[in-house]
Chain A
């Protein structure tokens, strides 16, 4: 057998042996795992370990030195790796920057491929929705209801509805992400209000499709990459110069794939866009001065701080401090995962609840009357859990908070 033939032969047996070869862009992740020195620092900081203990979730060190080292029997680790919220705390404290959240995605992809029966069934349901609609949430049965819901939200917030006249030759694509497109519509509308106020030439997609993060987190790498390609084509056909989003998960995921797949445009979270392109002075000049005094505390989404850059939250504070009558109070768990990540809440709600418990206690201990966070998913998670725990503190998406504090035109 020639070397060529031997190679083809071996490749042919991989499926049978349940081995998925690593893609070129995954090699860096594999190399980072090899750097683990087994020190255990990550265990001390993992929010899931803090929430449920190492007996239920063996923690990031175990992922680095055990669970990622068992090809092709990755499936044996399913009960653990699907409990990681992908928050990235471990990677941030790790002296070797071991890329645990990404290796978790890779292990999940291998379980999904060979033993889909071991993937939590709630996640298969989400995939059904994604396959049917290219979005992580099913569209409204009656489009009129969606419009009613949007208008109600706008009315409650006192925000106008912004029409986009023309999207020919727009500079900026505003991409709200699935959550703000279907559920938290006020976030999408608030962003439009802000962009319009600063005369930004922006467009939105006629048919929003998912950035692929949920599919990737579930382990359906194929669907994730299809969604990535589809989104890239839509954006390329618009010819925009940059993408602005209000979702933390979209920011980090699209930043990632945009580099991997050569999109050649920069990706911004709204906060970054406001600071770096609009400028704090222009922003400050548009803020209302007659609002009532509010004490707020900030929740920092993992996908912004630990997956994109902590700098973004420094910007967020800068913006909030520029709004008159707003006092920012720091919560001791401000940068702790809200439990909404990694699709954990879908199939292990008790684990997600233990994780968010840390945030709730810390928020409750502040004297703030409101939590502000630059992510619609964190907003929903915190809002729901604060309400269920009987803590009378409201939650606002930061984009909404900014829009509602603009002066009247």
Chain B
């Protein structure tokens, strides 16, 4: 059976879900096809916009960083956002405006969902991770808001709290690392300490996974004993802030934290490692947002083929374990991610985009089709610029349509968004979800214009 849609989105990470929502909330008949979870599900709970620039060597606020990108590199997805319709030149204000628009849009859409986030574009944030290190970011889930920890550093007394038998977070280790770090900080906090509390989802204080704790708290709330252990430790240490593992609930973390706040402290979760509960919240919230917009989603299906005619992709073929689905759509958005999502494959013989076999390039749009992935990694140590392999992806035109090595648009009705794109290194820049969000938002609009024959 043939299934017909205005728009087919391939990939269900942040880029695909945002693009799909934009299209479907404005009335387009949209289907999103996803083979599995991608990088969005791994993410730590922070939405990075632009933490550092590869070239700048020192941290900037996201807005300052965005304003600088255009000057530095013409191939960055943020820079492509800034190309004006009129004179085809890059305008910094346009970059900032488009990022602002998409952030505001997402903030509104996630309002009230478990991945609700907080932060501001004109302020760099140094969020604490499970290791006790910090990472520059821009927005964090509401449960990760550190309050006035850094601002009122002279009076801040931070207590790291871990859970007995939960191996994903060691409060003592994190506290030690964070304290060590304070020696170099502009604004060191006054005191750092740690303690443990007991939460036993299945009655045993050992071998507890993060998701178990989160589900248990969703279901039964914070146990009384844990709360009184916390109270005792807060009294003993005089803590003003409490750093918790990012497992305080999937749906109900805010409620759990509120209960802890009543002990007279500001509690917050630290950034997660995979398998990440905050990543799960984000994925779940984005899924809900897309479904709410009326879009159709088919998971467990991998796009394995396509038909094309006259420079257009006319049909894509998706495979589930035992069936095949034929989907014809006026336009297609490629949001398949990079190495984890599966959008880009690196093999012995080079890099390829995995569905349409599109040409791939690196940070500066140099071809990578016959480069062995090892060539783009540094075996000795990690340089400040990071491993070049992370910036490999597909090159695009100003509407985010993939182009080939001759700079020709490959298919006039295919747009690409998110980490399948080349030209930026999310890992060192700290820009992963930010690029996913803004390019998803923009390709959603571009595909819409294409479908309405306005592009």
Contacts and interface: CB of A to CB of B under 8 A. Distances in A.
B187 interface: no
Given A92-B300, A95-B36, A95-B342, A41 B274 contact: yes
Interface stretch (B147-155, B174-182, B203-211, B423-431): B203-211
B403 to A, nearest CB: 27
Interface in A110-167: none
A183 B155 CA distance: 71
A53 interface: yes
Nearest to A37: B340
B325 A41 contact: no
Interface in A251-270: 251-252, 255-256, 259, 267
Contact of B341 (A56, A95, A256, A307): A95
A52 B341 CA distance: 29
Given A53-B202, A95-B37, A44 B277 contact: yes
B25 interface: no
A49 interface: yes
A55 interface: yes
A17 B296 CA distance: 52
Nearest to A252: B322
Given A96-B36, A276-B1, A309 B322 contact: yes
A93 B37 contact: yes
Interface of A: 37, 39-41, 43-44, 49-50, 52-56, 59, 88, 91-97, 251-252, 255-256, 259, 267, 275-276, 305-312, 314
A97 B35 contact: yes
B321 A307 contact: yes
Contact of A40 (B275, B301, B342): B275
22 contacts: A41-B41, A41-B42, A44-B210, A44-B211, A44-B275, A50-B212, A52-B202, A53-B208, A53-B209, A55-B204, A56-B202, A95-B38, A95-B340, A95-B341, A252-B321, A267-B322, A305-B300, A306-B321, A308-B320, A309-B322, A310-B300, A314-B298
Given A55-B206, A96-B36, 8 more contacts: A41-B37, A41-B275, A49-B212, A95-B37, A95-B342, A252-B321, A306-B300, A310-B299
B215 interface: yes
Nearest to B168: A40
Interface of B: 1, 35-38, 41-42, 201-202, 204, 206-212, 215, 274-275, 277, 280, 296, 298-302, 320-323, 325, 340-342
A93 B40 CA distance: 12
B320 A255 contact: no
A53 B212 contact: yes
Contacts of A40: 274-275
A53 B341 CA distance: 27
Nearest to A52: B202
A54 B209 contact: yes
Contacts of A309: 300-301, 320-323, 325
Contacts of B300: 92, 305-306, 309-310
A97 B302 contact: yes
Nearest to B209: A54
A307 B207 CA distance: 30
Nearest to A276: B1
Contacts of A312: 323
Nearest to A38: B274
B322 A255 contact: yes
A50 B213 CA distance: 10
Contacts of B209: 43, 49, 53-54, 59
5 closest A-B pairs (Cβ-Cβ)? A40-B275, A309-B323, A309-B320, A255-B322, A53-B202
B323 A308 contact: yes
A55 B275 contact: no
A54 B42 CA distance: 19
B325 to A, nearest CB: 6
Nearest to B202: A53
B36 A44 contact: no
A136 to B, nearest CB: 21
A53 B201 contact: yes
Question: B38, B277, B321 — which one has the most chain A CB atoms within 10 A of its CB?
Answer: B321
A310 B298 contact: yes
B354 to A, nearest CB: 13
A308 B211 contact: no
Nearest to B320: A309
B202 A44 contact: no
Given A53-B202, A256-B322, A311-B320, A43 B36 contact: no
Contacts of A53: 201-202, 204, 207-209, 212
